[in-house]
Amino acid sequence: MVQNKPLFEFITSIVSSYKSANLKVPNFVDTKELQKEFLSALYDDEGSAPLRVFKKTNEIKRNVNLSSNSLNIIKQIKNILFSNFKIVTNRISKNVYHRNSKVFINYILNITGKENLENFQREIGFNHPEKRNKLNLMLNSYIRPPKQKT
């Protein structure tokens, strides 16, 4: 229960629904600077930077992803990333799973590719130290060609 009436009024003015499936980017997040801070906080909380090796081919898989029950917010994030930060994302994937005879759906937005990951690190980044470290490891895992002698 919120005890601070002004805080409660502010929250209810920006949140139309308390269901996670109805989340959206708040209207006041309308400048590039606010979008950067919003996205950084969102990725710190709901994102991940898994670095893994595909066993069959020993290929390194790199991506930064964001997961939400709200398709609306995922679509908005995809649009903001591209239009304001030039970060290209993959198609939004839908994950359906069952637990205790209930059906749950969440949506996942992936950022892949060295250039997009570098743009994410430079423009948005993680504040969470573990996630920031994983993103650094991920980018350092790309094989750099040897410098040519001139």
Domain 19-140 has CATH 3.30.1280.10: no
Is the CB of residue 27 less than 8 Å from the CB of residue 34?
A: no
Give the closest residue to 93 by CA, choosing from 76, 77, 105: 105
Q: For residue range 56-110, what is the model confidence (pLDDT) as tens digits?
A: 888 888 999 999 999 999 999 999 999 999 999 999 999 999 999 999 999 999 9
Q: Backbone phi, then psi, for 97, in 5-degree steps?
A: -140, 160
Q: Provide CB contacts within 8 A for 7, sequence distance 6+.
A: none
Distance CA 116, CA 89 (A): 8
Question: What are the domain boundaries of the chain?
Answer: 19-140
Local structure of residue 53 (DSSP, 8 states): E
Global confidence as pTM? 0.80
